[in-house]
Structure 1
Amino acid sequence: MIRRMFTCCLLAAALPVLAQQEDSLRIRAIADEILENGKAYESLRVLTKQVGARLAGSPGMYKAEAWGKKTLEQSGADKVWLQECMVPHWVRGGKDQAYASAPAKNMPLDILALGGSVGTGAKGVKAPVILINNFDELEQRKEEISGKIVFYNYKFNNKLVKTFLAYGDAGKYRGQGPSRAAKYGAVAVLVRSMSNAADNNPHTGGTNYNDSFPKIPAAALGLIDADRLASLIGANKNTSVFIKTMAKMLPDTVGHNVIGEWKGTEFPEQIITIGGHLDSWDPAEGAHDDGAGCVQSIEVLRALKAIGYRPKRTIRIVLFANEENGLRGGTKYAEEAKAKGEQHYFALESDAGGFTPRGFGFTVSADQLTKIRQWAPLFTPYGVHELNMGGGGADIGPLNRTFQTPLAGLQPDSQRYFDIHHARSDVFEAVNKRELELGAVNMAALIYLVDKYGL
């Protein structure tokens, strides 16, 4: 009897080890499938080179939706459909132009109108320019603002190793800056690009007007030109700037989330969502932001099917509409889920570029994070070492707010992301095939573990 009890204890102690060995082999099979037979990189090439830019409401948006539907069908989804949502329709309207003028000197400036901004009209706007380093200085000098172009020269904080913190810190000048300047009579705004790049590419992105104040033209300025303009203003206080943009907002139009579903075998009512956003800003191809996240999400489905996995829960791949300038797709997805009484068990988003994976950030309970961290040794062979609290994504955020759905976001190495974010340099050639695939490997591994063991 004692011997039998001792043997049972040994078997019980060995079970977690045996399970981890089984999981390690299963994840190795996932990795081998993606690294040897992966489709993500080629899918991204088609999306970027044959579809290209795909801002909400543009012809590229509809081409991208057709690409997404076809690619999900080819990747093995049981069912694929388009979920309609109304999206904003902002157009750039042509090439943005600017130059600075001081006595005996004209200096061209590389700019991009901010998304959602109004244009100057065909004649453009020319006015004295005033350099403002931060909002505190704007308040201190508010009597000097009227009739001028405000140049916000707030620099990316290079001391912050986690570059998304620097982006969050600087982003308020793009989002709030135009209206805060308009409050004091500014006629236009230039914003130093939200980047720590070494080139001169301007980085666009959405701005948000406060309806209490006039809507004024707003544009992002390349970093080299931002430094040159600051030097010119420092040397000559009478510097003026000319800006011409033809941007305008058109009526909302119809867009779609593209959804592919794989039915679960044991708990089909419990839905695991995996996704990225299909839209991108217009100056480039949207390769890292967020073509990478879209193809990685599709690759999770394809690879798990390819190795013969049968999910317990229903897995949905969602290519979200309109993340960049409205979040209408993510909002619609959660609204319709609530209306249908769906159960959203877990959601994973990739929207931080296709760079080398470093970790995942989670919005979960403390107990759930403790359970997830028990899986850490299974990720380390594939480059992921951080499983931390705090993460998810803009498009899956509404699921958490609606259902308290646990969330996760893939966290790649971020040091190069803001070199290309919202800039003309976000092209297919900037994506490394191996890094992109490793991101998909880790995403698939996380989905496998969540589906198998639950949270």
Structure 2
Amino acid sequence: MKKLLLLFLSSILLISCNQKQEKPIDNNQFSAEEKIDSTKIKTLFNTALTEGKSYEWLRVLTQNIGGRLSGSPEAEKAVIWGEKLMNEVGLDSVWLQPVMVPHWVRGEKEVANYAINGVQKNVPICALGFSIATSKEGVLAEVIEVKSLEEATALGDKMKDKIIFFNRPFDNTLIKTFEAYGGCVDQRVKGASVCGNFGAKGVIVRSMTNAVDDYPHTGTMSYGDLPKEKHIPTAAISSRAANILSDDLKANPNLKFYFKQSCETLPDAPSFNVVGEIKGSETPENVFVVGGHLDSWDLAEGAHDDGTGIVQSLEVAYLFKKNNIKPKNTLRVVFFMNEENGTKGAKKYAELAKLNKENHIGALESDGGGHTPRGFSIDANTVNTKLLQSWKKLLSPYGLHDLDKGGSGADISPLKAENVTLVGYRPDSQRYFDYHHTSTDTFDKVNKRELELGSASMASIIYLMDKYLYNNTPVKP
């Protein structure tokens, strides 16, 4: 009987705890103007979490169109989709900005294997963007494992007729996984330019991820100024395969690795940035950009990279319109084309902005996935950096604690200038490189609530930038 009574009381207590109201934001810490801002930000979050559209927009983009590599039919469909959607949201004007983009195609599915004691081991592999194909017969050669470009260079002519295997993993002690990515990605981008110069037959690279799994990660590579006759096929193998190959090489240093791929670079293709805007009510000549990149790699649906950034950027404008927020400055939403393998869309946008003498005063980019919001990175002069950091008490109730000086994003960085404030949206990055550039970057990996929280976070900082930044007179640090 006592046990039943105890169980009953525990249940009542649990229900009481679950029904406890969320602690309200303490507006007493705010000035009169900040109280207005706090209320407005809360409204943006409430709207995103109850009436948000981003998740369903993402469903259509990923499920109906899929991977959108520059120059592909899917990228063309995405442009049509983006223009139509911006018009449906009711932006004041929508247009397409022509741009020529690289057109690399993967071709048939890649194959890789090697034999140990007569037993063949198949290896998950994918070609890297801009790599050439192997011959029709494929490439078969002994393997030399290295950990860095410097170690490869030191081999010199020993690389001739060998396959060079770059196997430097992420530094998993780094909390910010983008820093770990930055510490490894040079081997993917530059490996072929180093090894091709010494007559290597090919390059294989450990996938850029902190996970250990069977999914190879693609990504762009470059031959630099290497003459065409020295170009060699380059591919990534999965992280688990890299570990296994490394162990097998220790026991069988003369093993021969085989891979075959049929990728090809075609002539540049016509495409578009998709641009829409809400005209500023007071100083329309001043422009804020919010955007992400419409293109993605071809292995999956491009959900986190960067479908989430696209739909969040448009939802900023949707949230403004839904809450009758009329920006003082022009708010421009841009779906950039070709971030993944060329940034031609970003360069064209900046080129036309300069040609048309447009006055950009700020930009926000979302290209870090659709996970839980953590904050923003700021690329601005000292005055404006401090201004944005002063908003931490308004933003921190929503988990936006990080307002650090740093980079912004590949697509808005060409707009960089002394008086232009660039901001990168920074969600939690711990899972991002599980999916980045892989066949698993699909719609089902995106959490609806996390996505909507991101939209509201972006709308909030744009609201504050629009209200305060345009009146701010930046000075040189």
Please point out which of 370, 376, 382 is paired with 1:354: 370
- Structure 2 matches for 1:62-73, cutoff 5 A? 62-73=76-87
- Structure 2 matches for 1:441-452, cutoff 5 A? 441-452=456-467
1-structure distance, mates of 2:209, 2:143: 22
Please point out which of 112, 117, 124 is paired with 2:138: 124
2-structure distance, mates of 1:130, 1:196: 23
Summarize deviations over 1:200-237 as a string: whole Å, max 9, x none.
10000000112334111000000111111111111111
Counterpart residue identity of residue 419, structure 1: D
What's the TM-score, normalizing by structure 1? 0.95
| Aligned counterpart, 1:150 | 164
Q: CA deviation at 1:391?
A: 2.4
Q: CA deviation at 1:103?
A: 4.1
2-structure distance, mates of 1:237, 1:17: 69
1:237 correspondence with 2:237: no
| Aligned counterpart, 1:412 | 427
1:440 correspondence with 2:455: yes
2-structure distance, mates of 1:288, 1:121: 34
2-structure distance, mates of 1:356, 1:205: 24
Query: What SS does the corresponding residue of 2:416 show, helix, strand or coil?
Result: helix
- Structure 2 matches for 1:2-401, cutoff 5 A? 17-213=31-227, 214-400=230-416
2-structure distance, mates of 1:235, 1:433: 47
| Aligned counterpart, 1:421 | 436
1:301–1:317 contact (8 Å) kept in structure 2: yes
1:102–1:238 contact (8 Å) kept in structure 2: no
1-structure distance, mates of 2:199, 2:389: 53
Query: What SS does the corresponding residue of 1:176 show, helix, strand or coil?
Result: helix
Summarize deviations over 1:20-41 as a string: whole Å, max 9, x none.
1111111111111111000000
| Aligned counterpart, 1:10 | none
Q: CA deviation at 1:51?
A: 0.6
Gap runs ≥5 in structure 2: 1-27, 473-477
Counterpart residue identity of residue 86, structure 1: M
2-structure distance, mates of 1:328, 1:136: 30
Query: What SS does the corresponding residue of 2:141 show, helix, strand or coil?
Result: strand
1-structure distance, mates of 2:79, 2:148: 40
Query: What SS does the corresponding residue of 2:115 show, helix, strand or coil?
Result: strand
2-structure distance, mates of 1:140, 1:249: 31
2:153–2:195 contact (8 Å) kept in structure 1: no
Extract structure 1 runs of 4+ deviating beyond 2 A: 139-143, 210-213
Identity rate of aligned residues, in percent?
47
1:76–1:301 contact (8 Å) kept in structure 2: no
Summarize deviations over 1:54-77 as a string: whole Å, max 9, x none.
000000000110111111111121
1:272–1:347 contact (8 Å) kept in structure 2: yes
Query: What SS does the corresponding residue of 1:83 show, helix, strand or coil?
Result: strand
1:270–1:344 contact (8 Å) kept in structure 2: yes
1:360–1:391 contact (8 Å) kept in structure 2: no
1:147–1:186 contact (8 Å) kept in structure 2: yes
1-structure distance, mates of 2:225, 2:154: 23
Query: What SS does the corresponding residue of 1:159 show, helix, strand or coil?
Result: coil
1:79–1:261 contact (8 Å) kept in structure 2: yes
Q: CA deviation at 1:323?
A: 0.2
Query: What SS does the corresponding residue of 1:33 show, helix, strand or coil?
Result: helix
Counterpart residue identity of residue 204, structure 2: L
Q: CA deviation at 1:404?
A: 5.0
2:129–2:221 contact (8 Å) kept in structure 1: yes
1-structure distance, mates of 2:364, 2:355: 22
Q: CA deviation at 1:126?
A: 1.0
2-structure distance, mates of 1:240, 1:50: 42
Single out whichever of 194-203 and 341-350 deviates more from structure 2.
194-203
2-structure distance, mates of 1:233, 1:32: 56
Q: CA deviation at 1:146?
A: 0.3
What's the TM-score, normalizing by structure 2? 0.91
Counterpart residue identity of residue 255, structure 1: S
Q: CA deviation at 1:16?
A: 6.6
Query: What SS does the corresponding residue of 1:141 show, helix, strand or coil?
Result: helix
| Aligned counterpart, 1:8 | none
1-structure distance, mates of 2:356, 2:348: 12
CA RMSD of aligned residues (A): 1.4
Counterpart residue identity of residue 124, structure 2: D
Q: CA deviation at 1:140?
A: 3.0
Query: What SS does the corresponding residue of 2:429 show, helix, strand or coil?
Result: coil
Single out whichever of 236-245 and 95-104 deviates more from structure 2.
95-104
Counterpart residue identity of residue 315, structure 1: L
2:153–2:194 contact (8 Å) kept in structure 1: no
Query: What SS does the corresponding residue of 2:142 show, helix, strand or coil?
Result: strand
Counterpart residue identity of residue 407, structure 1: L
Single out whichever of 71-80 and 326-335 deviates more from structure 2.
71-80
2-structure distance, mates of 1:315, 1:139: 49
Query: What SS does the corresponding residue of 1:191 show, helix, strand or coil?
Result: strand
2-structure distance, mates of 1:404, 1:169: 30
Query: What SS does the corresponding residue of 1:444 show, helix, strand or coil?
Result: helix
| Aligned counterpart, 2:10 | none
1-structure distance, mates of 2:419, 2:256: 51
Summarize deviations over 1:417-446 as a string: whole Å, max 9, x none.
111100111111111111111111110000
